[in-house]
Amino acid sequence: MAQTNAKPRRGIKEVIRKFFVSLKRSPQNIALVALVAAFLVYSLNLASIANTTTRINTSNMGQCEFGAMLFSILSFVIFLRCFPKRQKPKYVMVGLLILTLGLVLFTDIIYVLRIHQAINNPDDPIAITDFISTAQSVVSVHIILIAVSILLILLLPVYGKLLRKINTSIEVEGNESMGAIDISGED
């Protein structure tokens, strides 16, 4: 007769409990997910943004596109340095992260303004094509996601405390009948 060393089946409650334990230990992962989502939205649609830059070709559009991508990548490096494992956050790095994300917002806003100026130019308006409308909506979504990331980073102490209040302990059968342990050292 062969024995199996299979783990007992875990329920959905256990998966949720482990998820919340992980979040309690590192609540900054919520902000990191928002930052990753913003980066993926922007980088996966970079072809439309590059085509828009080529088509409209007004001042600083290429620099804004380059700056947004550069500062987005740089923000990941800074984010990982902000929150070392099992240590307090490095507040100077958090300030630098907010500054870097602010630069991403600035370049995105300039980019969207250049698109609006080219479309609404009374002398020579640019016709809206598929890639221009895609780029305009992608950069707008990127602005929203970066703003949400900044907000999540700033509110990290608040929701970190709220996550710590969630009870993730496991009730073990038979513990309710245990008495208090006397550690006073008296015989």
Looking at this protein, which amino acid is placed at residue 62? G
The confidence score (pLDDT) of residue 33 equals 93
**Per-residue CA distances from 9 to 12, 15, 36, 85 (Å):** 10, 11, 32, 30
The confidence score (pLDDT) of residue 66 equals 93
pLDDT of 186 higher than 70? no
Q: 129 Cβ partners below 8 Å, 6+ apart?
A: 55
44-72 average pLDDT score: 90
Q: Residue 7 — very low, low, confident or very high, per pLDDT cuts 50/70/90?
A: low
CA angle 48, 149, 93 (to 5 degrees): 115
78: closest CA among 118, 32, 147? 32
Q: Residue 9 — very low, low, confident or very high, per pLDDT cuts 50/70/90?
A: low
20: closest CA among 181, 160, 124? 160
The count of residues in the chain is 187
pLDDT in tens, 106-150: 999 999 999 998 888 888 778 788 888 899 999 999 999 999 999
pLDDT in tens, 17-39: 788 788 788 888 899 999 999 99
Looking at this protein, which amino acid is placed at residue 61? M
Give the C-alpha separation, 95 to 119, whole Å.
36
Task: Write out the two tokens for 98.
Answer: 């907010």
Let me know: does 112 contact 139? Beta carbons within 8 Å: yes
